[in-house]
């Protein structure tokens, strides 16, 4: 076909698209969580696979936001590569979710000790992926998510350790709330009718439950042994938010009649703003840390105090009492 068009400079107009901002924000969030977990965890398959899930979801969402930018319509090769990447990440994210729940809260026996079942699983999935058969891929994705939910139910029945069960509740709730809407709204209708009911934009919003609930499992129950992962990040994020609010309030005040009466030029206003932010940074960071510690009940106790308290309580006690004190 020959299509007559009138090109124009799009500039940054794609930032006016709600869909673009929506998918880009979620993509960046998943990517950062995946990278941080990968960098801070101890060695182990659970954390590695969870990081890969976050990165796969990140690329899936990022390649969903690109078409909404409407600036690559005249670059067919790039457009095709973006759609191929989207399809691959969409497919492998489901395979990784199933793999994760076969490792969580403990690795299943049929995966021990050899890695052969895992290698065969990913080899078969790679073969299915490079066929680019949408009918096959859509149904495999739904099949893997259904198996993941069955695996969650099995884990609730057979794993009884208190900490493992608490970790499992949070992570399972995140995946159920994150993937459940997609399965009900688009997954099952796709299986029955061969088409989606609505755009993926709405069910994709619920995916944020996955990292959010997993963050609770990390913070409260030491999932992946990185329980301090979010503490520092939250402190700095809260500090920055407070500084931005104060800075905006200060600049708004300078724009009122009171500020205009001071006869301060733009350069002076900028310098005053910088001085205000710099002087408030340290005390605000300290206060933000205290607020978050109280919020998450992370009370810092001195080791010496704990040892002295235990020694006084355990002195002269029988073994059973000492174990209870521990």
Handedness of CA 53, 56, 62, 66 (dihedral sign): negative
Which residues lie below 8 Å from residue 135, measured CB to CB, with a gap of 6+? 194
Kindly tell me if the per-residue pLDDT of 260 is higher than 90. no
Which tens digits make up the pLDDT trace of 146-185? Answer: 898 888 888 877 777 777 777 777 778 888 888 888 778 8
Q: Is 297 left (phi over 0), alpha (psi -120 to 50) or beta?
A: left
Query: Quick one: CA torsion of 153, 159, 162, 165, rounded to 10 degrees?
Result: -30
Average pLDDT over residues 250-271: 64
Residue 7 burial (CB count, 10 A): 7
The mean pLDDT value of the chain amounts to 75
Which residues lie below 8 Å from residue 236, measured CB to CB, with a gap of 6+? 285
Q: Identify whether the C-beta of residue 247 lies closer than 8 Å to the C-beta of residue 276.
A: yes
DSSP 5: -
Structure tokens at 89: 């990440």
pLDDT of residue 181: 82
Convert 35-74 to b/e letters by CB count within 10 Å (16 or more is b). ebbeebbeeebbbbbbbbbbbbbbbbbbbbbbbbbeeeee
Which residues lie below 8 Å from residue 132, measured CB to CB, with a gap of 6+? 84, 87
At CA 27, angle to CA 23 and CA 29, rounded to 5?
120
Q: Which of 7-21, 74-88, 247-261 has the highest mean pLDDT?
A: 74-88
Which tens digits make up the pLDDT trace of 64-104? Answer: 877 666 555 566 777 788 889 989 999 999 999 899 888 87
Which tens digits make up the pLDDT trace of 293-318? Answer: 665 555 556 677 778 888 888 888 88
Kindly tell me if the per-residue pLDDT of 270 is higher than 70. no
How far is it, in rounded angstroms, from Cα 214 to Cα 208? 10
Structure tokens at 134: 């949408």
Q: Is 107 left (phi over 0), alpha (psi -120 to 50) or beta?
A: beta
pLDDT of residue 229: 47
Confidence category of residue 227, pLDDT binned at 50, 70, 90: very low
């Amino acid at each position: 076909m020959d299509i007559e068009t009138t090109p124009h400079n799009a500039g940054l107009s794609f930032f006016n698209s709600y869909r673009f901002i929506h998918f880009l924000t979620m993509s960046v969030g998943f990517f950062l969580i995946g990278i941080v977990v990968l960098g801070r965890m101890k060695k182990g398959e659970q954390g590695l696979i969870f990081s890969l899930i976050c990165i796969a979801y990140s690329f899936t969402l990022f390649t969903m936001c690109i078409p909404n930018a409407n600036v690559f319509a005249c670059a067919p090769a790039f457009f095709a590569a973006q759609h191929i990447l989207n399809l691959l990440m969409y497919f492998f994210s489901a395979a990784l979710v199933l793999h994760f729940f076969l490792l969580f809260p403990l690795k299943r026996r049929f995966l021990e000790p050899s890695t052969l079942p895992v290698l065969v699983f990913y080899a078969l999935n790679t073969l299915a992926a490079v066929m680019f058969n949408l009918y096959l891929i859509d149904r495999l994705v739904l099949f893997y998510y259904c198996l993941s939910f069955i695996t969650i139910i099995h884990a609730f029945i057979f794993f009884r350790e208190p900490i493992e069960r608490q970790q499992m509740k949070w992570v399972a709730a995140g995946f159920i709330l994150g993937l459940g809407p997609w399965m009900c709204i688009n997954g099952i209708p796709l299986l029955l009718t061969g088409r989606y009911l609505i755009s993926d934009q709405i069910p994709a919003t619920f995916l944020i439950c996955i990292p959010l609930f997993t963050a609770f499992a990390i913070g409260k129950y030491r999932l992946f042994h990185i329980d301090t992962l979010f503490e520092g990040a939250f402190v700095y994020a809260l500090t920055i938010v407070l500084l931005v609010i104060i800075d905006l309030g200060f600049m708004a005040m300078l724009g009122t009649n009171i500020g205009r009466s001071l006869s301060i030029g733009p350069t002076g206003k900028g310098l005053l703003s910088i001085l205000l932010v710099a002087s408030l940074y340290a005390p605000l960071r300290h206060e933000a840390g205290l607020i978050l510690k109280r919020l998450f009940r992370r009370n810092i106790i001195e080791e010496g105090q704990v040892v002295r308290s235990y020694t006084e309580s355990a002195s002269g006690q029988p073994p059973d009492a000492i174990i209870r004190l521990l």
